[in-house]
Amino acid sequence: MVNINWCFKQKDGIKLIEHNDNLVNGYIKMAEDAFGTMNREKSYSLRFSVSACYYSMYYSLYAILMRIGIKCEIHSCTLKFMEEFLSEFYSKEEIIVISKVFDCRNTIQYYVDRAVQKNDSDLIISGSPFFHSKSKEILGKLNEGQIKIIREKIGKYGK
């Protein structure tokens, strides 16, 4: 199990950077592209549809990290960051859903002999547009004061 302290200690873990609006917009675009792939693939390949679903959600979340000025190349740490530092923006259910999508994506992408339950894949795929909309809403509302508070909390973990 990944914990937030471990994430801050990893070379590719959670790091403070300068925020970059071009990257914010780029990740939103990537999320929308992945969302389109998810919709195209759901009739043909559950494997690729679920994978694209995860990335549509992940890139939406990562756009928020870029807005705050956070870099993290370990997906499980990005999700742990969400849980620890963005819980005032995302509900507990939304945090659980993206974690479930992450697990399902890992199962179908890395284990050819394992399957994802149909009810899980249906839930994941139907929830993706809501997660993306919520992330865009958060981006629109996130203000400098909130960003400063989050960055100060992160500073307590060291750099």
Tell me, yes or no, whether 157 lies in a domain.
Answer: no
What secondary structure does DSSP assign to 36-59, as a single string?
Answer: HHHHHHTTT-HHHHHHHHHHHHHH
Is residue 97 domain-resident? yes
Buried b (16+ CB within 10 A) or exposed e, 107-130: bbeeeeeeebeeebbeebbebbee
User: Domain of 10?
Assistant: 4-151
DSSP 86: S
Give per-residue pLDDT as tens, 80-98.
999 999 999 999 999 988 8
Is 54 among the domain residues?
yes
Residue 61 lies in a domain: yes
Residue pair 16/147 in contact (Cβ under 8 Å)? The answer is no
Domain CATH number, residue 20: 1.20.120.330
pLDDT in tens, the chain (159 residues): 789 999 999 999 999 999 999 999 999 999 999 988 888 888 887 788 888 989 999 999 999 999 999 999 999 999 999 999 999 999 999 998 888 888 888 777 787 777 777 777 777 777 788 999 999 999 999 999 999 999 999 988 755
The domain tally of the chain equals: 1
